Amino acid sequence: MKQDYSYVGHSVDRNDSYTKTTGRAQYTADLKFPGMLYGKLIRSTIAHGRIKSIDTSEAEKLNGVKAIITAKDVPSMKWGLSPARFDENIFCIEKVRYNGDKIGAVCAVDEETVYKALKLIKVEYEELPAVLTWQDAAKEGAPQIFEEYPGNLNTEIHHHFGDVDAALKDAYYVRTDKFQGQRTYHAFIENHCSTAYWDGDRAFLYSSCQSVHYIQYHLCRVLGMKMGNLTVRQTNVGAGFGGKLDPSGLDFAAVILSKITGQPVKMFYDHAETFLNGRGRHPMTMELTTGVDKNGKILAHKFDCVLEGGAYTGLGIASSYYAGSLLGVLYLIDNYKFDCRRYVTNLPPCGAQRGHGQPQPRFAFEHHIDLVGEAIGVDPIDMRLINARKGNSITTAGYEVKSYNLLGANKMARDASGWKEKRGKMGVGRGIGVGNGGFVTGAGFCQYRTDYPHSVGMVKVFDDGTKAYVYSNAVDIGQGSDTVLMQMAAEAMGYPYERCQMVTGDTDLSTLDFGAYASRQTLMAGWAVKRAGAEVKKKVLAKACEMLKASGRIKEGFGYLDGPLTPEDLDCVEGIVFVKQEPAVKLTFEEVARKYFVDHGVLLGRGWYHPGKLGGNHKGAAVGTSPAYSSATQVAEVKVDMETGQIECVDTWDVHDSGTIINPKLFHGQVHGAFYMGVGETIWEEVLFDKKTGKLLNGNFAEYRLPTALDMPPVESLTLDDSYEPNGPYGLKEVGEGATTPTMGAVANAIYDAMGVSMTDLPITYEKVWRALRDKKASGK
């Protein structure tokens, strides 16, 4: 299926590498407008309570303060990212639900004045008892955080495919294990920032976000604006990892404050505030039961999962479904039961973070299945080979899976890592482990109900043909989507990549895309711009055909041609249009495009993409169904200091079944970054709160310990040559999130191999390892 392409499959330079490496790239916080004001949110200092009064009078007297707004000054319509659970207000009405909740906003002539004003604002509360863990939230008589969620139960899911109990009864071996995940944080480097201004009845908002469309949609809905009257724009974005999909309080506040003051307003968070904005990974409490036959074939699996949600729903419903919906894609499990509850608590809301809802369940399952294999004497990789899905199949839940080579990924990772020589043979304190994962390549549905296409693309060729503008509001949050979209558009057009330019990050100027989440853009926006490019090419070939005929260079019916020259006899590659049977007869794309412009006006190509009806009919099928699924295997090697518990991850291998790789350099970058996040969450990272007050304890990068370059092992990122996805443009599938999902399992399994004690509680800190080793010694085993 694979062809020789000019750009697809090549590591062309990123379009932004020069501006970013020279420090010239502009981010939202770099923007300045004449008369621009600076603003910040007023935040709750208690975890749960009723607002008795807000006294802003002292702050208003402060020289330079321009406006202070609270709930009474803004629309009271609730918003959220899950239509059935809109539960968040722009600013708290009556009640605050976490230490850091949004009470209002202040803007002033400069930053300094804003900080001073914040100190002068006095909020009086009637404190209510707070619930800081799901266990407390679920107790009889626990304080109610929302009226609409009795017992603080935000959602529950009960899926049952096949007959688990019957299958467990027949199983050769049944095992149950419990696991605990932790709350983590995206740790993107660019904090949220939003800057807005108005021109008449039109508002313009620059937002550091993952979807200009959703921000536009949610703001317009709550503010009662027509979408045509709110332009959402963006500059470069310093990453998101799921944390910039929800509108932040800053977006609303910037638009409202700039309306009130008549001046541009820039709202911004510092790192601690970004931690408080939350939306990171849910801590999950998980119980897994698996029954297998003698060979390790899974007969049934039961997964019980509780998510600790924090104060609002946000994307939490999708997180809950994702916790259970993708296991059946990885492994062939005929009998599967998934029970899930999500509770609200008085902490910052949890939401989506790279791999959305899936990494912790992956950790749990991948470790659990090793323990099952160990009990029946089956090697971990063999356990996976026995149970792995194959391509062109349908899952128990009804999802259609086209390309899928988890088997190949396991074998390649096994061989590359020297698994057979190493596993169980490395001696005390050294170990090797494997984990599988994968992800959707885009969600099957929009976040809200609509019949819009998921992505629309356009290519406009400049008048004289010397530039091609590629339009898409797909968001380049650093992953390089602009680059790969231009590669695909250039390929489809037969035009030089270097002369393409993105028109993006602007809901007025560019074309609809739902944004950077669910690893969707390369496939969905890819289809849209590929189709747009193809339409340009079609027009160019038709025009070239006309030109060649008129030029007299073509002698019709003469020798190499059977009939009159048609556009189908032509092709265009890298800016040259030529006769396929006689490539020496050619024109430049430029001259053809120019002629087109003279004869017809602007040379445009348009494309769009909708995934259509996808598989799965059960309630919640929308979260998990996708046009294409990636799969991946990672192997990690670790050293454990058997006295101190210190863990060092020394080497890793990743094989990602990602279809056609559009840009190998960017692909390997994604794998590397994904592993980095995964290993960080396995060993180091956890957001901590005071157990009484719910106050954030480590909202900084000294105490929220991300791994450093020195902690990061080398990652050998491998690919499967024959991976090709028919549902993806050029045969591609995702890599962005899927590569995070095997990591925790692989590293945890390596730790187990090294120390011989199963670690089921994330993060697997040095101290936990030390404690486990000490307890093992004390118990004399």
Q: Which residues bind another protein (CB under 8 A)?
A: 111-112, 115, 270, 272, 643-644, 646, 684, 688, 697-698, 701-703, 705, 707-711, 765-767, 770-771, 774
- For 32, the token pair is 């300045």
The minimum distance between CB 722 and another protein, in angstroms, equals: 39
**C-alpha to C-alpha distance for 29 and 27, rounded to whole angstroms:** 5
φ and ψ at 279, to 5 degrees?
A: 80, 15
Q: How far is the CB of 767 from another protein (least distance, A)?
A: 5
Query: To 10 degrees, what angle do helices 743-755 and 359-376 make?
Result: 40
576-579/570-573 β-pairing: antiparallel
Instruction: Tell me the closest approach of the beta carbon of residue 708 to another protein, in angstroms.
Output: 4
Nearer to another protein, 475 or 679 (CB): 679
CA dist 485 and 16 (Å) reads: 13
Helix (H, G, I), strand (E, B) or coil at 629: strand
Beta strands of 641-738 (E only): which ranges?
647-657, 715-719
Q: What is the DSSP letter of 730?
A: G
CB of 707 to another protein, least distance (A): 6
β-pair partners for 298: 292
Name the residue nearer to another protein (CB basis): 287 or 711. 711
Helix (H) or strand (E) holding 769: helix 766-778
CB of 27 to another protein, least distance (A): 18
Nearest-angstrom CA–CA distance, 738 and 4: 27
Query: Which of 204, 269 has the CB closer to another protein?
Result: 269
Which C-beta is closer to another protein: that of 536 or that of 679? 679
In angstroms, the CA 734 to CA 745 distance is 20
**Residue 287 CB neighbour total at 10 angstroms:** 16
Long-range contacts of 418-424, Cβ-Cβ distance < 8 Å, separation of 24 or more: 419/381, 419/635, 422/637, 423/379, 423/380, 423/753, 424/753
Q: Helix or strand or coil: residue 285?
A: strand
Amino acid at 285: T
Distance CA 626, CA 624 (A): 6
Q: What are the distances in angstroms from CA 772 to CA 424, 506, 747, 778?
A: 19, 53, 17, 10
Closer to another protein by CB, 111 or 170: give it. Answer: 111
What ranges in 377-405 are assigned the alpha helix state H?
380-387
Which is nearest to 762 in space by CA: 740, 742, 738, 744? 744
Cα–Cα separations (whole angstroms), residue 429 to 370, 642, 715, 746: 18, 6, 21, 16
Indicate the SS3 state at residue 621. coil
Shortest Å, Cβ 629 to another protein: 34
Nearer to another protein, 220 or 687 (CB): 687
Q: Could you tell me the CA-to-CA distances from 571 to 1, 351, 530, 591, 599 in Å, in that order?
A: 19, 48, 16, 15, 21
Residue ranges with strand state E in 446-541: 455-461, 468-471, 500-503
Minimal distance, residue 654 CB to another protein, in Å: 22
Query: How many residues are listed for the chain in this entry?
Result: 781
- Whether 283 and 181 have beta carbons less than 8 Å apart is answered as yes
Would you say 19 or 708 has its CB closer to another protein?
A: 708
The least distance separating another protein from the CB of residue 115, rounded to whole angstroms, comes to 4
Q: Cβ closer to another protein: 607 or 713? A: 713
Residue 610: burial class (beta carbons within 10 Å; 0-12, 13-18, 19+): middle
Which residue reads 């349908």 in tokens?
394
Q: How far is the CB of 752 from another protein (least distance, A)?
A: 21
Which of residues 492 and 640 has its CB atom nearest to another protein in the complex?
Answer: 640
Nearer to another protein, 42 or 137 (CB): 42
Nearer to another protein, 84 or 710 (CB): 710
Measured CA to CA, the distance from residue 672 to residue 716 in angstroms comes to 9
Question: CA neighbours within 13 Å on the CB side: how many for 194?
Answer: 33
Three-class DSSP category at 329: helix
Shortest CB 29 distance to another protein, Å: 14
**Cβ closest to another protein, residue 78 vs residue 705:** 705
Place of tokens 């009470």: 103
- What backbone phi and psi angles, to 5 degrees, belong to 238? -85, 55
Smaller CB separation from another protein, 595 or 768: 768
CB of 714 to another protein, least distance (A): 15
Nearer to another protein, 202 or 271 (CB): 271
- Write down the least CB distance from residue 265 to another protein, Å: 18
Angstrom distance (rounded) from CA 726 to CA 149: 43
From CA 309, how far away is CA 304, in angstroms rounded?
A: 16
Tell me how far, at minimum, the Cβ of 64 lies from another protein, in Å.
14
**Closer CB to another protein, residue 266 or residue 411?**
266
Q: Which is nearer to another protein, 428 or 550 (CB)?
A: 428
Write the CA distances from 176 to 261, 371, 483, 742, integer angstroms.
60, 10, 46, 21
- Least Cβ distance, residue 613 to another protein (angstroms): 48
Residue 635, φ and ψ in degrees, nearest 5: -125, 135
The identity of residue 334, as a single letter, is D
| Closest distance to another protein from the beta carbon of 764 (Å) | 12
Closer of 584 and 710 to another protein (Cβ): 710
Backbone angles phi, psi at 188, to 5 degrees: -70, 150
Least Å distance between CB 616 and another protein?
A: 42
279 touches 314 (CB < 8 A) = yes
Beta carbon of residue 697, minimum distance to another protein (angstroms, whole number): 6
At closest approach, how far in Å is the CB of 191 from another protein? 11
Nearer to another protein, 221 or 271 (CB): 271
